[in-house]
Amino acid sequence: MIQLIRGFKDILPGEVELWQEIERISRELFETFGFKEIRIPIMENTELFARSIGEHTDIVEKEMYTFPDRKGDLITLRPEATASVVRSYIQHKMYAVDPVRKFYTIGPMFRRERPQKGRYRQFYQINAEVIGVDAPYVDAQLIFILATLLDRLKISDVAVHINSLGCPECRPAFRKALTALLEDKKEDLCADCLRRSSTNPLRVLDCKVPACREAMADAPPLLDYLCDGCANHFASVQRTLNGLGVPFVIDKQLVRGLDYYTRTTFEIQTGALGAQSAVAGGGRYDGLIKMLDGPDMPAIGFAIGFDRLVEIVGLKQVDFEKTPRLFIAALGEDCAEKAFDWVCRLGLAGIHAEMDMAVRSLKSQMKQADRSRAAFVLIIGESELASGNAILRNMRTKAQSPIAIDANTVKNVIAHIRPHAT
């Protein structure tokens, strides 16, 4: 039997309703705050991700699904969405019309990580990006939106972690201090980190190898090296979050796994997912648009791990399962013919009705009706046909009422089974 690829998964009916509901709540929230949906391709030229996420990150070095297409061009299944949103913003010269843009996008991402609970090779993200504003209000507003979304999804046991990663003005002094420390710790580092010590020392702070983590435990925090501009910006973000009543912790160890970040970075962390503690992550990327040959524009965004959200959501699956409003139990071909006509016409009127198209026994059809959890059952057999009245049963109250079998049957049924009729 052919099975799905390791680290990939099916989201089956019964589960998918919760995904749809989370998506609906997210869209509603984003639109309230003026975000517009953008849909970007699932594949891009590899260079886009290599340049923006960074050549020396785990994602680019080890995790991307990259392959030559039939002409030999290197393409990559997107490991994240930010690079593509920025590419699109630049390519369509969106800055020329209105430089400030707020986008959201929802869809699958691909990273070849070791699969475990909360970590998949195809996973889904809910992304929000704001391009064109450097005010700390935006940073605070994005974190506020994230916190609001988690609240609406009845997720507790989460904490907002924030940090600042500075800018090209304050990074060099930090880099120098870090490089000196790395020189001292050479013996303790993994091969990747040894290499990164010279190519991209900041990435060593993000290494998941326990020995490297231990070696870097006493690394100086970047926060201590911020220039005045970055320190003031970070202080304003905190002040604004306090004003909005969003609790947060300052996490000096939070470096994030992508190279494009500057200034504010943040994560939503939870204890509910074992080792995969980050439900969402984001931050400023003020240099990325220029680096990808666009104008010099600040930007900030976040991505929520949709799969992880589903695992910790407080809303219950059963609240969103969709069941038919009506099941028509029809006996004999003449009645089935009528039932079929009604099922189709109820569908046109936006009412989900089911029937047994194989026209089995009444007992079997009543069992099907129960299994389908339909709110009402309409029964029509030879005797109903002869008497000119079908029987409508309310499955909750067990009350029964006759429905005339004539040109108005569908109209009459609708009048009885509208939601207020239960």
Q: Is 356 among the residues that bind ligand HAM (CB under 6 A)?
A: no
Q: Is 289 among the residues that bind ligand HAM (CB under 6 A)?
A: no
- Least Å distance, CB 85 to ligand HAM, is 8
| DSSP code, position 317 | G
Evaluate whether 64 touches 43 at the Cβ level (below 8 Å). no
- Coil vs helix vs strand at 65: strand
Q: From CA 151, how far away is CA 163, in angstroms rounded?
A: 22
Q: From CA 267, how far away is CA 165, in angstroms rounded?
A: 13
- Least Å distance, CB 331 to ligand HAM, is 51
Q: Which is nearer to ligand HAM, 161 or 325 (CB)?
A: 161
Pick the binder of ligand HAM from 129, 206, 251, 286 (CB under 6 A). 129
Stretch that binds ligand HAM, among 64-72, 78-86, 320-328, 387-395 (CB under 6 A): 78-86
Q: Which is nearer to ligand HAM, 251 or 356 (CB)?
A: 251
Please, where are the H alpha helices in 273-381?
Answer: 288-291, 306-312, 333-348, 362-372
- Least Å distance, CB 410 to ligand HAM, is 47
Pick the binder of ligand HAM from 61, 113, 134, 311 (CB under 6 A). 113
Chain residue at closest Cβ approach to ligand HAM: 305
State the binding string over 293-312 for ligand HAM (x if CB under 6 A, else -).
--------xxx-x-xx----
Instruction: Please give the radius of gyration of the chain, using alpha carbons only, rounded to the nearest integer.
Output: 28
Evaluate whether 282 touches 195 at the Cβ level (below 8 Å). no
Token reading at 290: 């220029």
- CA 242 to the chain's CA centroid: 26
Q: Is 139 among the residues that bind ligand HAM (CB under 6 A)?
A: no
Q: Is 282 among the residues that bind ligand HAM (CB under 6 A)?
A: yes
Stretch that binds ligand HAM, among 163-171, 204-212, 278-286, 376-384 (CB under 6 A): 278-286
Q: Which is nearer to ligand HAM, 230 or 351 (CB)?
A: 230
Token reading at 191: 């091969």
- Other residues' Cβ atoms within 10 Å of the Cβ of residue 257: 18
Stretch that binds ligand HAM, among 18-26, 118-126, 161-169, 396-404 (CB under 6 A): 118-126
Q: Is 134 among the residues that bind ligand HAM (CB under 6 A)?
A: no
State the binding string over 307-346 for ligand HAM (x if CB under 6 A, else -).
xx--------------------------------------
Nearest Cα residue to 391 out of 358, 360, 369, 371: 369
Q: In what order do the strands lie in the sheet with 353-355?
A: 353-355, 326-330, 376-380, 389-394, 400-404
- Least Å distance, CB 390 to ligand HAM, is 51
Q: Which is nearer to ligand HAM, 256 or 393 (CB)?
A: 256
Q: In what order do the strands lie in the sheet with 278-284?
A: 36-37, 101-110, 122-131, 299-305, 278-284, 262-270, 158-164, 249-250
10 Å CB burial of residue 147 (0-12, 13-18, 19+) is buried
- Least Å distance, CB 112 to ligand HAM, is 9
End-to-end CA distance of the chain: 45
Pick the binder of ligand HAM from 101, 102, 119, 325 (CB under 6 A). 119
- CA 40 to the chain's CA centroid: 15
- Least Å distance, CB 355 to ligand HAM, is 41
Stretch that binds ligand HAM, among 38-46, 114-122, 247-255, 340-348 (CB under 6 A): 114-122
Pick the binder of ligand HAM from 132, 136, 201, 281 (CB under 6 A). 281
Evaluate whether 298 touches 349 at the Cβ level (below 8 Å). no
Number of separate helices (H) and strands (E) present in the chain = 16, 16
Q: Is 164 among the residues that bind ligand HAM (CB under 6 A)?
A: no
Pick the binder of ligand HAM from 89, 120, 144, 342 (CB under 6 A). 120
Single-letter code of the amino acid located at 94: M
Q: Is 82 among the residues that bind ligand HAM (CB under 6 A)?
A: yes
Single-letter code of the amino acid located at 243: G
- Least Å distance, CB 123 to ligand HAM, is 3
Residues making contact with ligand HAM (CB under 6 A)? 80-82, 111, 113, 118-120, 123, 125, 127, 129, 257-258, 278-283, 285, 301-303, 305, 307-308
